Amino acid sequence: MSEAEQTVGEADLHAWADGRLAEGRRAEVEAWLAAHPEEAERAAAYRALNDQLRAHYEPVLGEAVPERLESAALRRRRWHAAAAIAGWIAVGAAVGGVTGWQLHAQRVPVPLAQPDSPVIARRAALAHATYAPEVRHPVEVGADQEQHLVAWLSKRLGAEVRAPRLEAEGMTLVGGRLLPRDPGPVAQFMYQSAPGRRVTLYVRTEGPDQRETAFRFAREGNVRVFYWIDRKFGYALSSADLDRDELLKLANAVYQQLNP
């Protein structure tokens, strides 16, 4: 034991507590500890602290992972960059091939499946389902007062909003309304085609840390929604009358108009 005594040092106590000693060495150290109760108590306390730490923080492992961390792991925040590089180019072939619609060398975000927690899509679809069927009061301010409408909504949202012109897509502006939301209100523009098919554009302001996202698609009941974030606004384009491809084409037109 006297031989071990010379060689058992501070590091051995820690290595013993951490279970980091090789088999033979552990026996030596334990023999030494048996003869040195003060150090043995200290080493035991170190080991007990390890157990306490693990027990104390173990519940964190079982907690639901916040969505923002999963997004960071999936690099969702970098969609902006990914879409800018890959999407603008690839989407022409992908979408055009399916729908017969061709891009004209324009920048268009990529439609992605897999929406994550699409609150904006749900709210937009709900608002659409509420007001689009209205015959007498579909909007608060009609398109005949478009200037007033846009100025009013811009003032209430605290940011300059615009009503895209979609005549080229066969859609004319019906008007718009203000919707409640916490924090801050939301603007809804309504468009209508000659056969009476309706589309609503839901526009809300986003926090300063929001980046651009690609188009994402969601379906709430019979309402289809394309939604995206572009600089300080979140947009959602909803319709129960248009199919997915028609709505995507329209979403692209809206995006182009708002990003001249």
Partner 1 sequence: MSDAGSLIALIPRLRRYARALVGERAAADDLVQDTLERAWSKLHLYRHGTDLRAWLFTVMHNVHVNQVRASRPTTALDDDMPELAQRAVQGDALLVRDLERAIAVLPAAQREVLLLVALEDLSYDETARVLGIPIGTVMSRLARARDKVRVSMHGKGASKLQMVK
Contacts with partner 1 by CB under 8 A lie at: 10-11, 14-15, 18, 20, 42, 45-46, 49-50, 52-54, 56-58, 60-63, 65-66, 68-70, 72-75, 77-78
What single letter denotes the amino acid at residue 78? R
Rank residues 45 and 98 by Cβ distance to partner 1 and give the closer one: 45
Is 16 in contact with 43 (CB distance < 8 Å)? yes
Q: How far is the CB of 40 from partner 1 (least distance, A)?
A: 13
Q: How far is the CB of 69 from partner 1 (least distance, A)?
A: 5
Q: How far is the CB of 101 from partner 1 (least distance, A)?
A: 31
Q: What is the largest CA-CA distance in the chain?
A: 100
Rank residues 110 and 236 by Cβ distance to partner 1 and give the closer one: 110
Rank residues 38 and 167 by Cβ distance to partner 1 and give the closer one: 38
Continuous segment of H or E residues that includes residue 114: none
- How far apart (Å, rounded) are the C-alpha atoms in residues 12 and 7? 9
- How far apart (Å, rounded) are the C-alpha atoms in residues 154 and 132? 22
Pairing of β 141-142 and β 223-230 = unpaired
- How far apart (Å, rounded) are the C-alpha atoms in residues 253 and 103? 11
Calculate the CA dihedral of residues 148, 181, 219, 191 and round it to 10 degrees.
Answer: -10
Q: How far is the CB of 81 from partner 1 (least distance, A)?
A: 11
Rank residues 1 and 74 by Cβ distance to partner 1 and give the closer one: 74
Rank residues 60 and 135 by Cβ distance to partner 1 and give the closer one: 60
Rank residues 20 and 148 by Cβ distance to partner 1 and give the closer one: 20
Coil, helix or strand at residue 151: helix
Q: How far is the CB of 221 from partner 1 (least distance, A)?
A: 31
Coil, helix or strand at residue 129: helix
Q: How far is the CB of 120 from partner 1 (least distance, A)?
A: 21
Residue recorded with tokens 């609503």: 200
Q: How far is the CB of 46 from partner 1 (least distance, A)?
A: 5
Rank residues 14 and 107 by Cβ distance to partner 1 and give the closer one: 14
- How far apart (Å, rounded) are the C-alpha atoms in residues 124 and 177? 13
- How far apart (Å, rounded) are the C-alpha atoms in residues 12 and 250? 71
